[in-house]
Amino acid sequence: MCLHHKLFLICLLFFILTGCWDSHDIEELYMEIGAALDKPKTSTLRRNKEQNQIKLTLQNISPTQLPSESDQGNKKKKYQNLTGVGDSVLEIFREFSLKNDSPPYGQHLKVLVIGEELLKEKNLQILLSLFNRSLEVRDSCILLVAKGEAAKTLKISTDIPAFTLIGIGENESHSANLLPITTNGKATRSMANDENMAIQSVSTKNGKIKFNSAALIKGGVNRLVGYLDEDEVKGLNMLTGDIKGGILKGKDPKTKGLIAYNISSVKSSITPYIEGNHLSFDISIKSVGRLNEDGVHAGNAFSNKFIHRTELAIKEETERLLNQTLTRLQKQQKLDVAGFGEQVRIHYPKQWNHLKRNWDKYFSEASIKLNVSITVEDYMVKGKKEISQ
Amino acid sequence: MIKQKDQITTAQAIVYISSHMTAMGILTLPRVVTSATQTPDGWLSVLISGLLLILFSMVLIKLCQRFPEETFYQFSQKIIGKWFGILLSLVLIIYFLLLGAFEVRGMAEVTHLYLLPRTPFMATVVPFICLGVYLIVGGINPIARLFDILLPPTILVFLIVILLSLKTFEINNLRPILGMGVLPVVKGIQPTALSLTGIESMLVVFSFMKEPHKGIKAATIGISIPLFFYIMTTIFTIASLGVAGVQTKTWPVLSLFRQFEYTGIIFERFETFILAIWILQIFTTFVTCYYIAVLGLSQLFQTKIKPFIFGLAPILYLIALSPKNINDVFHFGNLLGYFGLLFILPIPLMLLLIAIWRGKKHVSAS
């Protein structure tokens, strides 16, 4: 191999050393971790009402911004909130890059909160279209609905509000009042199907936050049409079987004492029946759990009699919750978010094609039969409080 | 013309077929199939068309077995005469050129979208083609050996990542099976063409096989591996995205891997792994197409292969960049799918019948 060849090859090696075209320095990234969409206040609206329909609040963190151990004292915020208004979400993003030296970076956006005012007026699918089409934001981003202003949820007085929101959302094994997480991908899928959705909603008060209800989104129009309160959310979770933990409170039929039942598992099955024009459902809910706390002084959990009483108490409570939820969904909202339609689609695929267009109407007229069974498996380390006799 | 050392074992032939089959199609397959079926039964369509393909491949292999040491370019001239043979060979060469260019373009599109948004097409396409040139200068053996190396990690990564997607798996999205009867499944068979082409490479590669009598076995196993990938991918994608959701996504399979992330373990996101192995598989398909096209040209003109290798590279680049937008790319792919099917069933069947009728068969030199 002659010298020229060698030199040529050595020069080629320089190409290996060139950097990546798409590299970003991590110090220069402003990572979005949370975003909130709101309807702007009327004062910010321009004369033409078609303008500035969306207000976007972004919560960013930057590795260089995080305060070091030494300046913990001066209480510097760990995050930065940016706000902008515009007609489209993308437009607002582009605005941000005119106002900041490094534009926001969306790969780590974890939570998206949508304000109730905006969601009542605008189709969720249109609001999410940028987030779904672009690749920066992943489909695993969590969706929440804010009662009141969504921007406030990113201003609550915790270390980094967006992370608090995510953390609470994942507490499903501690509470039966939380809906399973709705991700961006899941919402998109439901909307593509024209399905109704229930999304976890949150409310803020004095800088504190609580996950306390569910927002009902009507499929097709994809707008907010109502809420379920905490009890109804529990009932809805029972119907869908999406419960990983949490408690149910019942009253002992004999002494009226309190009984707290810790849910270990819930299995639900919804079976549709179509006879002629009549639609009916059998719901069977089987729950297994443990007796966690009771206010019945003489209760002796070593005896099956008392266990049966607790089971009865919890069964009554479960039925009450279910009936409340079903009344709300069937009679008041006339909206199926518990997957009744899906069961019809699975069991009666041919009939479903006729039913699906007016499904909510058929659902509201269907008759539903409940069948609840509760099993108290154990009572932890203490069986009774006093030695009777 | 074929040197003695240019031979591949049966195992290599299997790897060759499956590497060639796994390509562009897999990323869009669930959408394409579900758009036709409109029910969750798409995976059944894929299964049926895969089995049909195995059946078709037997005809193709039977034809090749009559001429065990010759490529399509050589035996087609013997069967249907010189001029028709040359014409048919040219069509096959053009097909492989277009398919190779299409794979390059698909790779560039996906890389541009998911991995390197600011890198120009040229910067991904040119090295890709150059690497292909580098590989095929060495002939069939280095190609087959490279494929040997690439297939095991592909299977491993694919299985791991697809099982991780169980996090968003919803069995209700797959139910009911055959709820609307068999008709949707039948409708879904035809659009799988693009994903299932690949076996036609055997028309040429068969001549390199050390043990031609094992051709049918090689084809059957070679088709089964990608078929397994396809069915798994279709099932998991539909189960996670739903029948309606699948149809709205440009690259449904990549969307599937963006539905979930795992925090707490070293890696949080897994679509990058799928993209990495997918690009490797695109490379294998591209190299095969390129090699078969240049081999055809050199055999037709009975000259050396190298000038064609270097001469076709810029042509490939130009074809790859010719579709104007992503929809053109998809249309291009569909057309190629049907084009490929032509070489899988009707042409081999016709040639086989003529060969039997005219009693044409390879007479071994000994």
Cα separation, A249 vs A254, whole angstroms: 15
Please tell me the distance in Å from B261's CA to the nearest CA on chain A.
7
Instruction: Say which of B118, B243, B258 has its CB closest to residue A138.
Output: B258
Is A189 in Cβ contact with B245 (below 8 Å)?
Answer: yes
Is the pLDDT confidence value at B286 over 90?
Answer: yes
pLDDT digits (tens, 9 = 90+) for B100-117: 999 999 999 988 888 888
Quote the pLDDT of residue B51: 93
Work out the mean pLDDT of chain A and round it to a whole number. 84
Cβ within 8 Å, pair A349-B260:
no
- Chain B residues with CB-CB distance to A139 below 8 A: 255, 258-259
pLDDT of B365 reads 47
Size of interface A-B (CB pairs under 8 A): 62
The rounded percent of chain A whose pLDDT value lies above 70 is 92
Name beta bridge partners: A60.
A32, A80
Chain B residues with beta carbon closer than 8 angstroms to that of A194: 244
pLDDT confidence tier of residue A46, bands split at 50, 70 and 90: low
Plot region of B264 (φ>0 → left; ψ -120 to 50 → alpha; else → beta): left
Whether the ω angle into residue B176 lies within 30 degrees of 0, i.e. cis, is yes
Contact list, B241 vs chain A (CB under 8 Å)? 185, 189
Pairwise CB contact (< 8 Å): B116 & A183: no
| A271 Cβ contact list (under 8 Å, min separation 6) | A281, A282, A283, A284, A343, A347
| Least CB–CB distance from B118: residue in A21, A140, A188 | A21
Subunit contact A188:B245, Cβ cutoff 8 A = yes
Tell me whether residues A346 and B116 touch, CB distance under 8 A: no
Please say if the pLDDT value at position A137 is more than 70.
Answer: yes
- Please, which pLDDT band fits residue B90 given cuts at 50, 70 and 90? very high
Judged against a pLDDT cut of 60, whether residue B2 lies above it is answered with: no
Give the per-residue pLDDT at B297. 92
SS3 for A120-137 is: HHCCHHHHHHHHHHCCCC
Alpha-helix residue ranges (DSSP H) falling in chain A:
3-17, 89-99, 116-121, 124-133, 161-169, 184-192, 230-240, 304-326, 340-347, 349-355, 359-365
Instruction: Say yes or no for a CB contact (<8 Å) between B259 and A140.
Output: yes
Chain A closest CA to B259's CA: distance in Å? 5
- What's the pLDDT tens digit per position in B251-268? 899 889 888 888 777 788
Chain center to CA of A92 = 25
Give B362's contacts (C-beta < 8 A, 6+ positions apart): B66, B67, B68, B69, B70, B75
What percent of chain A stands above pLDDT 90?
A: 19
Q: How far is A387 from chain B (nearest CA, A)?
A: 48
Q: What is the pLDDT of residues B315-341, one digit of tens each?
A: 999 999 998 888 988 888 888 888 888
| Strand duo A367-378 + A278-294: pairing | parallel
Q: Do residues A77 and A65 make contact, with C-beta atoms less than 8 angstroms apart?
A: no
Mean pLDDT value of segment A95-122: 84
What's residue A43's pLDDT? Answer: 56
Which residues from A are below 8 Å from B134, CB to CB? none
Does B71 score more than 50 pLDDT? yes
In DSSP notation, B160-223 reads: HHHHHGGGG--GGGGPSTTTT-SHHHHHHHGGGHHHHTTGGGHHHHGGGBS-GGGHHHHHHHHH
CB contacts, 8 Å: A349 with chain B: 39, 176, 179-180
- The alpha carbon dihedral of B200, B201, B206, B207 has a sign of positive
3-state helix, strand, coil in chain A (%, to 5): 35, 30, 30
Instruction: Determine, for residues B179 and A346 on separate chains, whether the beta-carbon distance falls below 8 Å.
Output: yes
Chain B neighbors of A163, CB-CB under 8 A = none
Q: A258: distance to nearest CA of chain B, Å? A: 38
A169, A178 Cβ separation under 8 angstroms: yes
Residue to substitute from B115, B168, B267, interface A, most A β-carbons within 10 A: B168
**Structure tokens, A40:** 């702007």
pLDDT tens string A75-93: 567 888 888 888 888 888 8
Closest partner residue to A350 (CB to CB) among B115, B116, B180 is: B180
**In chain B, what are the domains?**
10-353 (1.20.1740.10)
- State the average pLDDT over residues B143-150: 92
Q: Which residues of B touch A140 (CB under 8 A)?
A: 258-261
Q: Do B258 and A183 touch (CB under 8 A)?
A: no
Mean pLDDT of B15-41: 90
Which chain A residue has the Cα nearest residue B245?
A: A189
Alpha carbon distance B86, B90 (integer Å): 6
Distance CA A348, CA A94 (A): 49
Whether A194 and A219 have beta carbons less than 8 Å apart is answered as yes
Nearest CA of chain A to the CA of B105: how many Å?
19
Partners of A21 on chain B (C-beta within 8 Å) are 116, 118-119, 123
Whole-angstrom distance, CA of residue B19 vs CA of residue B291: 14
Query: What is the predicted pLDDT for the residue at A75?
Result: 57
Partners of B247 on chain A (C-beta within 8 Å) are 192
Q: Do A189 and B242 touch (CB under 8 A)?
A: yes
Measure CB to CB from residue B261 to each of A140, A189, A345 and give the nearest one: A140
Determine whether the interchain pair A193/B243 forms a contact, defined as Cβ–Cβ distance below 8 Å. yes
Among the residue ranges A21-35, A188-202, A255-269, B7-21, the one predicted with the least confidence is A21-35
Quote the distance between the C-alpha of residue B57 and its chain's center. 14
Tell me what the mean pLDDT of segment B85-114 comes to: 91
User: Quick one: pLDDT band at residue B220, thresholds 50, 70, 90?
Assistant: very high
**In chain A, what residues touch B179 (CB-CB under 8 Å)?**
345-346, 349-350
CB B244 within 8 A of CB A188: no
Q: What is the pLDDT of residues B164-190, one digit of tens each?
A: 988 889 888 888 888 888 898 998 888
Q: How far is CA A289 from the centre of its chain?
A: 24
Contact present, B14 and B148 (Cβ < 8 Å): no
CB contact (8 A) between residue B258 and residue A139: yes
Q: Per the CB < 8 Å rule, is A138 touching B261?
A: yes
Report, as an integer, the average pLDDT of B116-132: 88
pLDDT for res B238: 93
How close is the nearest chain A Cα to the Cα of B270, in Å? 12
Between chains, do B114 and A135 touch, taking CB under 8 Å as contact?
Answer: yes
B215, B64 Cβ separation under 8 angstroms: yes
- pLDDT bucket at A51, cuts 50 / 70 / 90: low
Best residue in A15, A20, A108, A138 for a mutation probing chain B (most B CBs within 10 Å): A138
Nearest CA of chain A to the CA of B138: how many Å? 20
Name which of B278, B293, B347, B357 is nearest B101 in CA terms.
Answer: B293
pLDDT score of B278? 92
Kindly tell me if the per-residue pLDDT of A247 is higher than 50. Answer: yes
To the nearest whole Å, the CA of B260 is away from the closest chain A CA by: 5
pLDDT of residue B226: 92
Segment A55-66 mean pLDDT: 78
Contact A350 B179 (CB under 8 A): yes
| Secondary structure in 3-state letters for A103-167 | CEEHHHCCEEEEEHHHHHHCCHHHHHHHHHHCCCCCCCCEEEEEECCCHHHHCCCCCCHHHHHHH
Phi, psi (degrees; rounded to nearest 5) at B315: -65, -45
pLDDT value at B301 more than 70: yes
